[in-house]
Amino acid sequence: MELNKYSYRSDAIGNLYKASYYLARGSGRLAVNFLKKAKEKISDELDLQLIKFLNHPEDYLKDYWYQNYWAEKILDQYKKLKNGR
């Protein structure tokens, strides 16, 4: 699937990628902001784990290992939605 530059859904999927990138780089607050923006537009398509993460992100961002784990989870969600599965 090709992402449409003018689509709100494509914008939300792009925000998932940005959230994953910034979380992997260690910018947890910025990543959570991008994830919240994505949730506003495609909340019905997000995994329940990501919604759980958004409810209490400070619990999951304490350790570097958890940040990488959640970055991978967000990236998996991005790939899933981008490919239309």
pLDDT digit string, tens, across residues 64-82: 888 899 999 999 999 999 8
Write out pLDDT tens, residues 10-66. Answer: 899 999 999 999 999 988 899 999 999 999 999 899 988 888 888 888 887 888 888
**Are 62 and 21 within 8 A, CB to CB?**
no
**Are 23 and 70 within 8 A, CB to CB?**
yes
Residues of the chain with pLDDT > 90, as a percent, come to: 47
Residue 2 confidence class, pLDDT cut points 50, 70, 90: low
Structure tokens at 68: 């990488």
Residue appearing with tokens 């619990």: 59
